[in-house]
Amino acid sequence: MGGTTCWDHHKCNRKVDCPAYPNSGYACWLIEGTLCRGETQPAYEQKITSCRSLCEYYTGVMDGSIKVT
């Protein structure tokens, strides 16, 4: 890919502990157990609503203001 990963966007210092690292940082909302807002997140079905409303990375990727390619 080559764009902005979630850990770069959020300036995350726990990226190596995150299940999205190193291969899924461009679509972290799809990965169970990611570390968002200091908390381990559940599977997609349980977290996508909060991703859509609370995550500026998710909304930026969706509206194209954050480039992931």
pLDDT tens for 7-66 read 999 999 999 899 999 999 999 999 999 998 888 999 999 999 999 999 999 999 999 999
Long-range pairs of 14-17 with CB within 8 A, sequence gap ≥ 24: none
Whole-angstrom distance, CA of residue 31 vs CA of residue 42: 8
- CB count in 10 Å sphere of residue 47: 22
Label residues 2-41 b or e (16+ Cβ within 10 Å = b). Answer: eebbbbebbebeebeebebbeebbbbbbebeebbbeeeeb
pTM (2 d.p.): 0.89
Q: Is 65 helix (H, G, I), strand (E, B) or coil?
A: coil
